[in-house]
């Protein structure tokens, strides 16, 4: 552990020293929060990623070193803390502090090749809380892939239209591929709207459970102060010798900026699982649905620091959350997060 921390400090010092050189940059964030349930035991939480600890809790520290050259570049994105650990788990455990680690080559003005570990291109949300509007995450993000390791080609047809093709290891298997099975990925982009697809074996063993996921992510500036984001997804896995399983969902991201320092946003989401996926309640054999409503505000206290108060209500199709000796189908929670970006 001491070696890991020392290496991170040396990396930070080296990159900071190199910031005067053209193309080098060093950035990151830290986050912490306090959370409480209003109608359930404090250890109850939505089956989503992050912001799932009661009381005062820690998020993560995120350190990103990068170089952007005329032809080549790299990104080294490191995370420490529970939020980061939950996001970068894999079968071997050796990449437990690596969020992203890739190099890229601008083959032409329009074509770029990227190789390494990069955050997923599916979905509206990302791992870093400094980029998301809501502090807690959606069900679609939580059950979709977090990251991929492989090779992708991005081609900008023109200013409006883009195409991406990728070949990757099984999702979240960031270190290596011991099965010889690969996943294909594709993305079509048009004026900020993206259609995303992955297809292939997602397991980290030699089984032939083939997964298909199609995802739409986009958004529109309806006025100078009002933005509406959209995310829909459908995921199904064909299980060898068993029934198919998967999930589907849809969410809106309505955000209103009332001033340069304050904005408020509402995220309604519908999420459903089928075929023993086990995401809602074990008693339902994985077949169930949830409607979640998340109201968040972003208040920029000063340069770098944003406070995010949040109220969230999750309503499941079956009794799911413990409150004393009873099992309820609803969970109401509040949190206050502090996110500092540099």
**Tens-digit pLDDT string for the chain (342 aa):** 434 334 443 444 444 444 444 699 999 999 999 999 999 899 888 888 899 899 999 999 999 999 999 899 999 999 998 887 777 654 344 446 889 999 999 999 999 999 999 999 999 999 999 999 999 999 999 998 999 999 999 999 999 999 999 999 988 677 888 888 899 999 999 999 999 999 998 765 555 678 999 999 999 999 999 999 999 999 998 876 667 889 999 999 999 999 999 999 999 999 999 876 555 554 445 578 999 999 999 999 999 999 999 999 999 988 888 788 788 888 999 999 999 999
**Prediction pTM value:** 0.86
pLDDT of the residue at 286:
57
Which of 20, 14, 52 lies closest to 36 in space, CA to CA?
Answer: 52
CB 47 within 8 A of CB 277: no
pLDDT of the residue at 209:
75
CB 255 within 8 A of CB 133: yes
pLDDT of the residue at 16:
43
d(CA 91, CA 290): 29
Domains annotated for the chain, with CATH where assigned, are 25-341 (2.40.160.10)
Other CB atoms within a 10 A radius of the CB of residue 139 amount to 26
pLDDT of the residue at 8:
42
d(CA 98, CA 116): 11
Question: DSSP strand E in the chain: where?
Answer: 24-37, 55-68, 72-80, 98-106, 111-119, 147-156, 161-168, 183-190, 193-201, 210-221, 226-238, 245-257, 262-274, 288-302, 305-316, 321-323, 326-328, 330-341
Which residues make beta-bridge pairs with 216? 195, 232
What does the DSSP 8-state code read for residue 282?
G
């Amino acid at each position: 552990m001491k070696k890991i921390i020392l290496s991170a400090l040396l990396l930070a010092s080296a990159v900071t020293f190199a910031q005067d050189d053209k193309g080098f940059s060093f950035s990151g964030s830290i986050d912490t929060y306090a959370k409480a349930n209003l109608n359930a035991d404090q250890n109850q939480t939505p089956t989503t990623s992050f912001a799932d600890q009661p009381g005062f809790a820690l998020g993560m520290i995120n350190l990103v070193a990068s170089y952007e050259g005329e032809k080549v570049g790299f990104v080294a994105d490191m995370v420490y803390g529970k939020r980061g650990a939950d996001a970068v788990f894999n079968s071997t455990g050796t990449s437990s502090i690596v969020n992203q680690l890739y190099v890229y080559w601008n083959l032409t003005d329009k074509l770029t090749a990227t190789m390494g570990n990069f955050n997923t291109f599916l979905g509206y949300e990302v791992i870093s809380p400094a980029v998301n509007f809501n502090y807690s995450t959606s069900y679609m993000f939580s059950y979709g892939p977090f990251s991929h390791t492989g090779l992708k080609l991005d081609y900008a047809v023109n200013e409006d239209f883009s195409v991406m093709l990728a070949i990757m290891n099984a999702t979240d298997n960031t270190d290596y591929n011991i099965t010889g099975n690969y996943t294909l990925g594709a993305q079509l982009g048009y004026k900020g709207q993206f259609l995303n697809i992955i297809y292939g074996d997602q397991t980290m063993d030699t089984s032939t459970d083939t997964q298909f996921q199609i995802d739409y992510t986009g958004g529109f500036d309806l006025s100078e102060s009002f933005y509406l984001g959209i995310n829909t997804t459908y995921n199904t896995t064909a299980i060898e010798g068993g029934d198919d399983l998967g999930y589907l969902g849809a969410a809106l991201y309505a955000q209103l900026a009332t001033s340069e320092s304050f904005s408020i946003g509402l995220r309604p989401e519908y999420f459903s699982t089928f075929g023993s996926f086990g995401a809602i309640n074990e008693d339902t054999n994985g077949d169930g649905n949830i409607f979640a409503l998340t109201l968040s505000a972003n208040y920029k206290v000063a340069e770098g620091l944003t406070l995010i108060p949040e109220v969230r209500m999750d309503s499941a199709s079956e009794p799911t959350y413990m409150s004393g000796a009873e099992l309820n189908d609803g969970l109401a929670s509040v949190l206050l997060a502090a996110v500092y970006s540099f």
